[in-house]
Structure 1
Amino acid sequence: MNETAIKALQQVLGDRLSLNPALREHHSHDMSRQPAHLPDAVVFAESEEDVVQTLKLCHEHGVPVTPFGAGSSMEGHTIPVRGGVSLDMTRMNRILAVHAEDFDAVVEAGVTRKQLNAHLRDVGLMFPVDPGADASLGGMASTRASGTTAVRYGTMRENVIALRVVTPTGEVITTGRRVKKSSTGYDLTKLFVGAEGTLGVITQVTVRLHPVPEVIASAICSFATMAGAVQSVVETLQSGIPVARIEFLDEVAVDAANAHSGLGLKRQPTLFLEFHGSARWVQEQSETVRALAAENGGEDFDWATNPEDRTRLWTARHETLYSNQSLRPGCKTFTTDVCVPVSRLPEAILAARADLDGSFIIGKIIGHVGDGNFHVGYLIKPEIPEELAEAERLAERLYQRTMDMEGTFSGEHGIGISKLKYLRREHGAAAVEMMKALKAAVDPKGIMNPGKLGQAG
């Protein structure tokens, strides 16, 4: 990034542009195992006009721009691999409107999911998409995030109604209207949801809201075998039970959760479940699932009914990434994120566990199994070449098996840097070339999050 570009940005943005080494380092990495890359500068956008001016000047000078939200992405999305500007959206954190009667809200991109739900508490509504981290809604839209509640409420794809986006040349577009459906034009909202900041910068998100259920009940159930736990998931879904969350932890993940969060669970494959609805409906659902689980070796169907116990339970589930340190201090998690048709889930998870059991590295399996999505985490020290190579070998086996089952190698984390090499295998050469053509048409200078989607793979 040359001195002329820096001076032009400073003239427009003032102290909202920083060259501070500590701030640049903070924006050089995310939660992935990918190596850090320093941006040349950090811009803290406080308004949509700040984003417009930044992109206009960066387009003029050919400066790369990498949008940055909460920094919680898992695949290197926000790492500025070619330097330039890291565009921090966290100061754009205003909730602009809540239309309770229409079940939607309009927020700036830096608003986080917990911030929005705290704001909604008094109106009896909630935003349900829960990836675990307190991610920004702009970032969640960009990565097409999902999480523990997707089995009932869907992912960001289903819960984003409209966007405001600043294009690479600094123009502002609105991708939809605040209505339930529309049949006009290309679906630009879906184009930008999941584009990972490679086509423009999301500044405003209109999201779908849902009523807070009358009753929320959580439960845990341990199983003698992994096969029994996963088969219970399949049978629950095939029975048409609208479970709100159904999460799987293998015995290694349970061991880590016990050490990290003090849960005191049996060291067995375990399901975490949650039911939403009326008191009678929740009771009927839970009793049906209890019976299905018992037929598959499930035991100790324990309830967490008060809010404090539920929060503790789900916090332990969400913090499984951090609990890895209790199993192997100083390790990094080589994450995977596959999704298969639910009917193939038992086969897929058991094969992944067999691979781990035959390896010299430690690993664990967790998953949002209600929609066929699970994660194998290989706990390695990347600086040890043999461990990194073994994790790559196991991941390759996992991904190829997933492709053979007509699944996807990324159910929710997105592509970022880590998974570009698999795009052609899943989508085919023609589809990837169309992605590149879209990128070139929207961003002819290639300044938006370069080295990611649309420019590689």
Structure 2
Amino acid sequence: MSKAVAQASGRQEALAELAALLGDRLTTSLPIREAHGRDESWHPVLAPDAVAFATSTEEVAAIMRICARHRFPVIPFGTGTSLEGHISARHGGLCLDLSRMNRIIEVNAADLDVHLEAGVTRKALNVHLRDMGLFFPIDPGADASLGGMAATRASGTNAVRYGTMRENVLNLTAVMADGRIVRTARRARKSSAGYDLTRLLVGSEGTLGVITELTLKLHGIPEAISSGVVSFPNFESAIDAVIATIQSGLPMARIEFLDEVQVAACNRYSKLSLPETPLLLVEFHGSEASVAEQAQRFGLIASEHGGGDFEWATKPEDRTRFWEARHNALYAALALQPGKQGLITDVCVPISRLAEAIKGTKADLAKSSLVAPMVGHVGDGNFHLIMLIDSGKPEELAEAKSIHDRMVTRVLSLDGTCTGEHGIGEGKMAFLEAEHGEGVAVMRAIKRALDPLGILNPGKIFSA
């Protein structure tokens, strides 16, 4: 029997066993398969052979045992909001959709933590917590599933104060490639007991195990929240203000950068009337007195670097208007050239090298024919570029990739990283070795040890 025939036979046997287990929660419908092979990036749609909708950790374990027996690839799926081709079925197989695993199992208000299933989204969690005076701060913009956010080590606008998913996951329940169920830790806030399996799986992008449950840290809703917008004459002044703010130790909750192209897009899309120059969108959390003091101190720093008049928002509806515009930045950018796709990328550098990194990227864009808005969670040195391309025109894709490659190479030379929060997926595999060197060999060894058959999200992070 040829290898191709054996693979086809194994596929059919796997699908038959999965159908017996799941019934109508297994589908081979083409529209559903295509929807599960598409994220929000420019990468081509690669549909799986089937989609399974799991409802419990035990069921995920049973699914993994079937797939392991037949060497059938498994691609975990949350909400499909990733940006580096994480969910494309490069080798076919089963898309394992965890969206129906959406129970909030237990809120431990006294300990400020919550135990939940991986399919719960961040917005659903915060709605559930609101009347308890608690919230979960990690906010990547999209209403992503919390399991997916852990898998990609997500962060977002609040990371400068509250950290990323790495700092906010206490423990995980994961199903390994052979179907074993592993709980990585207990609820204690610190531990020295053995290897840190939680941090190993956070950011593993579905390549080491399927995250099915999480225990997350929570925070009290601040007594006072204040947001504000300040415009600058150029990006250099805005970034200098960011660097001075962070180096001063001012406890910002959020500090976001939008360049003049992105501001114009947000004005048009979100019906704002902001000056179309680079700006910073900031937020402060704390007591009434501390928020007022932080705002005053930031105002002085901004004015010293050429910042204009502030537009402050203390009312919830005004803050929401600003932050919704920021969260809709991608859609605002895409609306600049309807019909085009966004080649979206992110990088991160030490805060002292931020101006240098952005200046080099801006110089490349000045020589380019592409429209490319820039935004950034600049309080931790992270910024994003949205290059608008017609994927049917090879020259535009080539130009965008060239700018992207120079951007990443520049950032690595500044001791930064090729991705601050989007992950590697299939889009940044070429840069992993340049960043980590021999560390990639260690990663491959871990992958082989935990997934010897190579069935967990194959073709992501590295090729084998």
Query: What TM-score does the superposition give when structure 2 sets the normalisation length?
Result: 0.97
Report the alpha carbon displacement of residue 454 of structure 1 after superposing the two structures with TM.
Answer: 4.8
Q: Is residue 432 from structure 1 mapped to residue 423 from structure 2 by the alignment?
A: no
Q: SS at the partner of 2:405?
A: helix
Q: SS at the partner of 1:194?
A: coil
Contact 2:346–2:385 (Cα < 8 Å) also in 1: yes
* Number of equivalences: 455
Q: Is residue 236 from structure 1 mapped to residue 245 from structure 2 by the alignment?
A: yes
Q: Is residue 70 from structure 1 mapped to residue 79 from structure 2 by the alignment?
A: yes
What is the aligned counterpart of 1:270 among 279, 292, 296? 279
Partner Cα separation in structure 1 for residue 248 and residue 441 of structure 2: 41
Q: Which residue of 2 aligns with 1:295?
A: 304
Query: Deviations along 1:6-58, whole A, 9 cap, x unmatched?
Result: 11111111111111222111101111111111111100001112201110000
Q: Which residue of 1 aligns with 2:131?
A: 122
Partner Cα separation in structure 1 for residue 445 and residue 184 of structure 2: 20
Partner Cα separation in structure 2 for residue 202 and residue 376 of structure 1: 30
Runs (5+) with no aligned partner, structure 1: none
What is the aligned counterpart of 1:218 among 212, 227, 241? 227
Q: Which residue of 2 aligns with 1:306?
A: 315
Partner Cα separation in structure 2 for residue 401 and residue 37 of structure 1: 31
Partner Cα separation in structure 1 for residue 197 and residue 384 of structure 2: 30
What is the aligned counterpart of 1:354 among 356, 359, 363? 363
Q: Which residue of 2 aligns with 1:30?
A: 39
Q: Which residue of 2 aligns with 1:379?
A: 388
Q: Which residue of 2 aligns with 1:172?
A: 181
Q: Is residue 318 from structure 1 mapped to residue 327 from structure 2 by the alignment?
A: yes
Report the alpha carbon displacement of residue 417 of structure 1 after superposing the two structures with TM.
Answer: 0.6
Contact 2:333–2:386 (Cα < 8 Å) also in 1: no
Report the alpha carbon displacement of residue 325 of structure 1 after superposing the two structures with TM.
Answer: 2.6
Report matched runs for 1:94-243 at 5 Å: 94-243=103-252
What is the aligned counterpart of 2:458 among 447, 450, 457? 450
What is the aligned counterpart of 2:337 among 321, 328, 340? 328
Q: Which residue of 1 aligns with 2:3?
A: none
AA aligned opposite 1:440: R
Report the alpha carbon displacement of residue 386 of structure 1 after superposing the two structures with TM.
Answer: 0.9
Partner Cα separation in structure 2 for residue 205 and residue 79 of structure 1: 24
Query: Deviations along 1:273-301, whole A, 9 cap, x unmatched?
Result: 00000011000000111111111110121
Partner Cα separation in structure 2 for residue 384 and residue 320 of structure 1: 24
Alpha-carbon RMSD across the aligned residues, in angstroms, is 0.9
Partner Cα separation in structure 2 for residue 52 and residue 63 of structure 1: 14
AA aligned opposite 2:386: G
Contact 1:324–1:331 (Cα < 8 Å) also in 2: no
Contact 1:198–1:454 (Cα < 8 Å) also in 2: no
Q: SS at the partner of 1:311?
A: helix
Report the alpha carbon displacement of residue 247 of structure 1 after superposing the two structures with TM.
Answer: 0.1
What is the aligned counterpart of 2:422 among 408, 413, 421? 413
Query: Deviations along 1:136-161, whole A, 9 cap, x unmatched?
Result: 00000000000000000000000000
AA aligned opposite 1:422: F
Contact 1:436–1:455 (Cα < 8 Å) also in 2: no
Worse-superposed segment, 316-325 or 253-262 = 316-325
Query: Deviations along 1:368-397, whole A, 9 cap, x unmatched?
Result: 000000012211112111111111111111
Report the alpha carbon displacement of residue 448 of structure 1 after superposing the two structures with TM.
Answer: 0.3
Runs (5+) with no aligned partner, structure 2: 1-7
Q: SS at the partner of 1:298?
A: coil
Partner Cα separation in structure 2 for residue 163 and residue 5 of structure 1: 27
Partner Cα separation in structure 2 for residue 170 and residue 303 of structure 1: 53
What is the aligned counterpart of 1:364 among 363, 369, 373? 373
Contact 2:429–2:462 (Cα < 8 Å) also in 1: no
Partner Cα separation in structure 2 for residue 318 and residue 350 of structure 1: 24
Query: What TM-score does the superposition give when structure 1 sets the normalisation length?
Result: 0.98
Partner Cα separation in structure 2 for residue 86 and residue 312 of structure 1: 36
Percent identical pairs in the alignment equals 54
AA aligned opposite 1:34: H
AA aligned opposite 1:130: D
Contact 1:435–1:454 (Cα < 8 Å) also in 2: no
What stretches of structure 1 move > 4 A for 4+ residues in a row? none
Contact 2:38–2:46 (Cα < 8 Å) also in 1: yes
Contact 2:90–2:459 (Cα < 8 Å) also in 1: yes
Q: SS at the partner of 1:216?
A: strand
Partner Cα separation in structure 2 for residue 19 and residue 322 of structure 1: 31
Q: SS at the partner of 1:74?
A: coil
Report the alpha carbon displacement of residue 182 of structure 1 after superposing the two structures with TM.
Answer: 0.4
Q: Which residue of 2 aligns with 1:8?
A: 17
Query: Deviations along 1:76-101, whole A, 9 cap, x unmatched?
Result: 11111111100000000000000000
Partner Cα separation in structure 2 for residue 84 and residue 302 of structure 1: 51
Q: Is residue 43 from structure 1 mapped to residue 52 from structure 2 by the alignment?
A: yes
AA aligned opposite 1:246: I
Partner Cα separation in structure 2 for residue 361 and residue 18 of structure 1: 40
Partner Cα separation in structure 2 for residue 214 and residue 42 of structure 1: 45
AA aligned opposite 1:389: A
Partner Cα separation in structure 2 for residue 3 and residue 224 of structure 1: 62
